Amino acid sequence: MNPPTLLDSEGGVLARHQAALNEGRFLIQRCSSCARAVYFPRELCPHCGHAELAWVHPAGTGTVYAVTTVRRKLEAGGDCNVSLIDLDEGVRLMSRVEGVPSGDVRIGQRVQARVVQQNGQGLVVFDLLAAEGAGA
Amino acid sequence: MNGLKSLRGSAAIAGVATFGCGEAPGYSDMELLANAARAAVADAGLKMSDIDGLCTASGAATMWAMPVVEYLGIRPSYIDGTMIGGSSFIAHLLPAMQALQSGQCNAVLVCYGSAQRTATFGRREVVASRRFLDPQPYETPYEPMQPLSAYALAASRHMHEFGTTRRQLAEVAVAARGWAQRNPEAFMREPLSIDEVLGARMVCDPLTVRDSCLVTDGGGAYVLVRADRARDLPNPPVYVLGNGTAVWNRQISSMHDLTVTAARDSGRAAFAMAGLAPKDIDVVQLYDAFTINVLLFLEDLGFCAKGEGGAFVEGGAIGPGGRLPVNTNGGGLSCVHPGMYGIFALIEAVRQLRGAGGERQVAGVKTALAHGNGGTLSSQSTAVLGLEETL
């Protein structure tokens, strides 16, 4: 019989991931068994089923994989960029690219993560990496 | 797969019905469902008391099978409340065939109703409630307009990888409208041109309001019985030759490749069970929540190669008179889309096989494919149907 698994006093991975973001830190996971990066955070590895997932700081660099502009009236907040970003560690997340009009965001552009506080919650957004240029 | 092959043609759809498609002011979800259910059972030549199997799902109520049982006054020995979005009512087929074959039940009613267009608690309220009841904490903070934004992201990727154009996407909407103009039940029947789609209000780039499905009311139902019993009932039996279902993810951000859907697996399984290939299919009903869906599913189901969906639909190829009749009722884009469309795709496939398509009837239909999609390209279920001569 397996020994009982102890609860983490800080809660599940969703809460711990958010708590780090609220302190300005963006964390992803890496599986201790198969070594693959994991995002969004899981209690077990979706690749191999292993339970030991270590928190790691990603480089924060990535590439725009897909992009849309949600067209909204000004009173509803105005147009809003929604992008899927592939981090260099090999995981994908939904986010938005800030600092440029949404229509200027292109698939293949290199981006850098930044944590902002929105409605009292830490949130990962991205900026274009100008030095590396556009297109990929 | 051998076990599933033994189920090929073991059950048949004996009755279908729709009710209140378009606008049904003053009707509840349940009232639309019940009217469709009653009509489908009658169409099958059965009485409600003959129904001893029930498959149903709701976009709002998590325990929906119970109120449906109560409302219809039935005592089913087989119940499937599997809810994987709009594909559910096609995914209900294979388990129901197994239940029929084992003798667990003898007549399965699959039914759905939604007053999404006219209800006071409509789409907006359901979406708001879901934030609490069924959270997506890694996507919601970015304020995607779901489900539309997910499909827009998939379209952006398809355009990037394969050079697919907005004009090719518009072809899908125009073809659907062409069919809708031949269907008196369709909600939008006025002429639609490619330029009108391209010039329509942009909602989530690159998708306009005309690349997007309708929001309508409507109920739909069908009755499934064992093949031997179907032969004694009034309508020509529509045999279920194959059915496959696949789910790879829920969130669009968890989809491995936005240009390849789980329809690749559901289609492969359905065709394997049926022993047929895309070239054998006479009419195709694809869940067209958005125009990009049709390109993705034509590719993933094998009607054309990956990336060639855009070229495939050009020149009215899937509209009336085209090389492959797709969404002959007008689809979710122009006929009906009450929250979940899958059951309507299946019903239209049955009507075409029965030769009951009226002005939109395709000549000589012996086989049909109905494909359901659920969530944000999340669940996929494919059914291959055929007449007696395909057994």
Q: What is the pLDDT of residues B86-108, one digit of tens each?
A: 999 999 999 999 999 999 999 99
Tokens 């993560």 belong to A113
Determine the Cα–Cα distance for residues B220 and B350; give it in Å rounded to an integer: 12
**pLDDT, chain B, mean:** 97
* Local confidence band at A33 (pLDDT 50, 70, 90 cut-offs): very high
Position B198 pLDDT exceeds 90: yes
* Local confidence band at B351 (pLDDT 50, 70, 90 cut-offs): very high
Structure tokens at A26: 């963006």
Residue of A nearest to B208 (CA): A71
Position A94 pLDDT exceeds 90: yes
Q: Which residues of A touch B127 (CB under 8 A)?
A: none
Determine the Cα–Cα distance for residues B249 and B373; give it in Å rounded to an integer: 12
B141–A121 C-beta distance less than 8 A: yes
Query: Which residues of chain B from 118 to 147 reach within 8 Å of chain A, CB to CB?
Result: 137-139, 141-145
Determine the Cα–Cα distance for residues B377 and A28; give it in Å rounded to an integer: 25
Task: Give pLDDT, residue B334.
Answer: 98
- Residue B363's contacts (CB-CB under 8 Å, 6 or more residues apart) are none
- Residue B170's contacts (CB-CB under 8 Å, 6 or more residues apart) are B194, B197, B198, B210, B211, B291
Percent of chain A's residues with pLDDT above 70 = 92
Task: Give pLDDT, residue B160.
Answer: 98
What mean pLDDT comes out for the span A108-135? 88
Tokens 């041109």 belong to B193
More confident residue, B134 or A102: A102
Determine the Cα–Cα distance for residues B114 and B30; give it in Å rounded to an integer: 8
Position A136 pLDDT exceeds 80: no
B138–A118 C-beta distance less than 8 A: no
B205–A69 C-beta distance less than 8 A: yes
Task: Give pLDDT, residue B78.
Answer: 98
A82–B142 C-beta distance less than 8 A: yes
* Local confidence band at A7 (pLDDT 50, 70, 90 cut-offs): confident
* Local confidence band at A135 (pLDDT 50, 70, 90 cut-offs): very low
Position A1 pLDDT exceeds 60: no
Of B176, B122, B147, B191, whose CA–CA distance to B335 is shortest?
B176
Helix, strand or coil, per DSSP, at residue B258: coil
Structure tokens at B211: 């690349």
Helix, strand or coil, per DSSP, at residue B297: helix
Helix, strand or coil, per DSSP, at residue A29: strand
- pTM for the predicted model, two decimal places: 0.96
Position B302 pLDDT exceeds 90: yes
> What is the per-residue pLDDT across B206-216, written as a single tens digit (0 to 9) for each?
999 999 999 99
Task: Give pLDDT, residue A3.
Answer: 61
State how far residue B298 is from chain A, nearest Cα, in angstroms: 21
Query: Which residues of chain B from 57 to 116 reach within 8 Å of chain A, CB to CB?
Result: none
Residue of A nearest to B255 (CA): A92
- Residue A110's contacts (CB-CB under 8 Å, 6 or more residues apart) are A61, A62, A63, A128, A129, A132, A133, A134, A136
* Local confidence band at A133 (pLDDT 50, 70, 90 cut-offs): very low
Position B2 pLDDT exceeds 80: no
Asked whether the beta carbons of B336 and B216 are under 8 A apart, the reply is yes
Residue of B nearest to A102 (CA): B205
Task: Give pLDDT, residue B340.
Answer: 97
Position A53 pLDDT exceeds 50: yes
Determine the Cα–Cα distance for residues B387 and B238; give it in Å rounded to an integer: 5
Q: Which residues of A touch B152 (CB under 8 A)?
A: 68
Of B336, B371, B333, whose CA–CA distance to B113 is shortest?
B336
Query: Chain A residues contacting B, CB < 8 Å?
Result: 14, 18, 40, 65-72, 77, 80, 82-84, 92-96, 103, 107-108, 118-119, 121, 123
Of B172, B366, B387, whose CA–CA distance to B282 is shortest?
B366
**pLDDT, chain A, mean:** 93
Position A134 pLDDT exceeds 60: no
What mean pLDDT comes out for the span A21-34? 98
Determine the Cα–Cα distance for residues A35 and B176; give it in Å rounded to an integer: 48
Q: How far apart are the first and last CA of chain B?
A: 18
Q: Which H/E stretch holds residue B341? A: none
Task: Give pLDDT, residue B126.
Answer: 79
Burial (CB < 10 A; 0-12, 13-18, 19+), residue B255, is buried
Neighbours of A120 (CB within 10 A): 6
Task: Calculate Rg over the CA atoms of chain A.
Answer: 17
Determine the Cα–Cα distance for residues B199 and B135; give it in Å rounded to an integer: 35
Task: Give pLDDT, residue B131.
Answer: 84
What mean pLDDT comes out for the span A33-52? 97
Query: Which residues of chain B from 232 to 291 reach within 8 Å of chain A, CB to CB?
Result: 251-254, 258
Q: Which H/E stretch holds residue B391? A: none
For the CA atoms of B165, B168, B174, B179, the dihedral, rounded to the nearest 10 degrees, stands at: -150
